Amino acid sequence: MEIKILNGKAVAKQLEENIKIRAQKFYEKYGYKPCLATIIVGHNPASEMYIKMKMNACNRVGLDAVKIEIDEQADTQDVLDVIEQLNNNDKITGILLQHPIAKHMDERLCFDSIAVHKDVDGVNTTSFGKMTMATDAFLPATPAAIMEILNFYNIELEGKHAVVVGRSPILGKPVSMLLLNHNATVTICHSKTKNLQQYLKLADIVVAAVGQPKFIKGEDLKEGVIIVDAGYNKGNIGDVDMETCLDKASAYTPVPGGVGPVTIAKLLDQTMTAAENNKIKKLIKK
């Protein structure tokens, strides 16, 4: 069986080329660049690295990016105040609050205080509701990336059984809703699922969003399965033990070079869309 590699870099490249053109047109028309504001709380090295990658990607496609640093000792209200300022700042197109923030802070409250039209990372409860109802909404970046990859490689979802392992608010849960909205039959598994293997065996598509290196093993999968490995663990290791899965898979996303690069590209894509939407709304109001 020939195995198809679902190369995220190719998907991201195409997305970035499209954003570059839109950003250039936007700049020529309005004289400024859309701007992504990223808020980071504390000094988590992984978060610092992700933010650097996102800001570099903004520069690459012609978007502005600013970083706001908040002290780890600050409280929820301090984060809410920063978000409110950004919500009210016309120069800021999109707002990203880098997860995780300090443990003593109310992350959900902070996410939900981001204005929906600036919620380009799709973390707001309202954005989640709109996405689930399949109305216009910004999607969480990683689930959006997964759908983009499946679409890019013409992977048929209708009637397929998708098993999502993980139910986090930013990944497992929303990607399950998106797959459902694309007419897949979806099983969501989590740490309390009994006999996970019995579900995995039935999967046409597996989405691994567990946060444990090499968690999904080939022996648990059926022949011809499509594997989306959203995992990203220390040492560039995914949540799928790909060596044991290659015999079973008909297609898979590699780690690195699969879901990761597309996640960043989707964030930029949605930032660009937020700027375009905002301009359209202002024109309608006039």
What are the catalytic residues?
54, 98, 121
The answer to whether 214 contacts ligand NAP (rule: CB under 6 A) is no
Q: Residue 38: in which H helix or E strand, if any? A: strand 35-41
The beta-strand segments (E) located in 102-165 are 161-165
In a 10 Å sphere around its CB, with 0-12 CB exposed, 13-18 middle and 19+ buried, how is residue 191 labelled? Answer: exposed
Candidates 87, 168, 181, 250; binder of ligand NAP (CB under 6 A) is 168
Judge contact between 221 and 245, C-beta under 8 A. Answer: yes
Per-residue contact flags (x/-) with ligand NAP for residues 87 to 126, judged by CB under 6 A: ----------------------------------------
The answer to whether 167 contacts ligand NAP (rule: CB under 6 A) is yes
SS3 269: helix
> Among 30-38, 68-76, 159-167, 267-275, which window interacts with ligand NAP (CB under 6 A)?
159-167
Judge contact between 280 and 49, C-beta under 8 A. Answer: no
- Count of H-run helices and E-run strands, the chain: 10, 9
Which CB sits closer to ligand NAP, 42 or 260?
A: 260
CB of 34 to ligand NAP, least distance (A): 21
Candidates 170, 205, 207, 275; binder of ligand NAP (CB under 6 A) is 170
The answer to whether 239 contacts ligand NAP (rule: CB under 6 A) is yes
Give the number of other CB atoms < 10 A from CB of residue 244.
Answer: 15
SS3 175: helix
What are the distances in angstroms from CA 235 to CA 128, 213, 250, 254, 257? Answer: 31, 10, 25, 14, 13
Per-residue contact flags (x/-) with ligand NAP for residues 4 to 23, judged by CB under 6 A: --------------------
The answer to whether 185 contacts ligand NAP (rule: CB under 6 A) is no
Point out which residues bind ligand NAP (CB under 6 A): 142, 165-168, 170-172, 189-193, 196, 209-212, 230-233, 239, 259-260, 263
